[in-house]
Amino acid sequence: MSDHDWAQPVPPPLPPGGAAPPPYVPPGATPQYPPPAYGPPTPGAWPPPAGPQAWTPPPRPGLLPLRPMGFGTLLWAPFRTLRRNPAPVFGTGLVVQLVSAVATAAVFVPLFVWVFGRVESASAADVDAILSGAVGWVILLSLVPIAISVVAGAFLQGVMVVEVASGTIGERLSFGALWRRAAARIWPLIGWTLIVGAIVGGVFALVVGAVIAVAVIFPDPATVLAVVLIAVAALLGLGVLGAWLGTKLALVPSVIVLERSGVLTAVRRSWALTNGNFWRTFGLILLVGLILSFAAQVVVQPVSFLGAILAMLLDPTVGEAYQAISIGTTVAALVLSVLIGAITSVVQAALIAVIYIDLRMRTEGLDLELERHVEARDAGRPTTDPYLPASEQGPVATWS
């Protein structure tokens, strides 16, 4: 027997019972399989999955995408707030602007009318006393519109935080619903606004008071000029410090409203959320502020400028026509200022809420919690408040 015969493999033996083995396939050959015994699937033969595996539609799109956002999305999201729910949002901003304007006019217009009437009928010796008393009354009565503006501004912040938060999960709240939810956190918001106003006003008064005191004690012009230059440099430095602190603490209103925190807890939360995201937050706030300021100037200033030119062309002698046109132009400019102010305040307050939600998505996975909340709500299952921290979650949602 040759070596080639020894190299051939031996087929396996038959299995017990006489059953035919599968076809023998030599090494290196491709096995051949018989066709399948079943035919193509019959339509409807497979039942659809049931229970937790059933298909559910994707979450309804809201104001913000449920994922960390890019710079462009963050930049334009506050402007979308007006378009998505314009009546309650713009209405709230307009009410706040009107309340502040009416309060200011109600305080100062009667005062100025009274002062001017007294000055016209007073002697030269009494004019200085009247003007000095008028300055004191202006300073005292200015606390009234300032207090009203503080309350109105804090309320607007609360409304816009609620609007952005509810809009992100696809809800569209009415005027009354927005106001009720914002009113529930109005006192901590007012407290925070008063603290910020007191600090800013106190620092400014301290610098100006120091300049006035030095000017009175050392009336030498060179000394006064040096003190003024030092004060300007100090104000610039304080401005830089204020921009840094303002950015780090910008999220305090959002934390107060959505996490139901006190002022001190909200300060710590805002400081922690902006860690590592300072320049992004500062850039957004600054850029949106510049856009709004430029838009306001483009709209309001041409009205005043064209009104002045029209008055001079129609009545160069500065008569009754000139005065009528000037009054009409002033009123039109004031109306436009109120409307633009309403838009500006709404967008700026909405921007802070948008930044807050984005930073929580980036650092805490809030986007996943919002997706679970929307899916559970649309499926009719019980939900919890998605914006509360995990340690404070309650059994029933306030946003569903």
- Write out pLDDT tens, residues 366-396: 989 999 988 988 888 888 888 987 666 554 4
- Say what the pLDDT of residue 162 is: 93
Q: In terms of residue numbers, what domain contains 336?
A: 71-185+277-373
Q: Which residue has the tokens 């930049």?
A: 75
Q: How far is CA 124 from the centre of its chain?
A: 54
- Within a domain: 134: yes
- Within a domain: 268: no
- For residue 208, give both structure tokens: 């100006």
- Within a domain: 314: yes
Task: Quote the number of domains for the chain.
Answer: 1
Distance CA 318, CA 296 (A): 29
What is the DSSP secondary-structure string of 231-243?
A: HHHHHHHHHHHHH
- Residue 123 class from Cβ within 10 Å (0-12 exposed, 13-18 middle, 19+ buried)? exposed
- Within a domain: 130: yes
Identify whether the C-beta of residue 211 lies closer than 8 Å to the C-beta of residue 229.
no
- Say what the pLDDT of residue 301 is: 83
pLDDT < 70 regions, the chain = 1-61, 119-128, 130, 132, 390-400
- Within a domain: 166: yes
- Write out pLDDT tens, residues 302-361: 888 888 888 788 777 777 777 888 888 888 888 888 899 889 999 999 999 999 999 999
pTM of the model: 0.75
- Within a domain: 249: no
- Say what the pLDDT of residue 399 is: 46
- Within a domain: 17: no
Q: Which of 300, 302, 326, 299 is nearest to 312 (CA)?
A: 326
- Say what the pLDDT of residue 122 is: 66
- Say what the pLDDT of residue 395 is: 47
Half-sphere exposure of 158 (CA within 13 A, CB side): 28
- Say what the pLDDT of residue 97 is: 87
- Within a domain: 303: yes
